[in-house]
Amino acid sequence: MIHIIASLTIADGKMPQMKEIYKSFVPKVEAEEGCIMYCPTVDFETDIPTQEKNKNIITVIEKWENIEAFHAHLSVPHLAEFRKDAQGMIEGVSIKVQQNML
């Protein structure tokens, strides 16, 4: 199993539109072969002093059966559609591909 942590920086004021885009996108990803979990998240407000907070970041937490399933995800038509729908709203993306340590 692999874990993907993707951070998307969203343009000011565009978070409501991104939420709507994700509402239709997430079920399509969850139906993909090899997808165990696909969960877009935003910061939760706490009083923890070490918590980094940014109202313009969407962090997507993903679990895939293997790297091949994730690579297949990168070429599905609904990802191209997502990119088109979100064009001009995403200012930056960073991705971490992780594996279980133990």
Residues 2-56 have pLDDT tens digits of 999 999 999 999 999 999 999 999 999 999 999 999 999 999 999 999 999 899 9
Residues 58-91 have pLDDT tens digits of 999 999 999 999 999 999 999 999 999 999 999 9
User: Hey, what are 18's tokens?
Assistant: 């991104």
How many domains in the chain?
1
Specify the DSSP class assigned to residue 22: H
Residue 49 burial by Cβ neighbours in a 10 Å radius (0-12, 13-18, 19+): exposed
Site of tokens 């935003």 = 42
| CATH number, domain containing residue 40 | 3.30.70.100
- Domain span holding position 86: 2-99
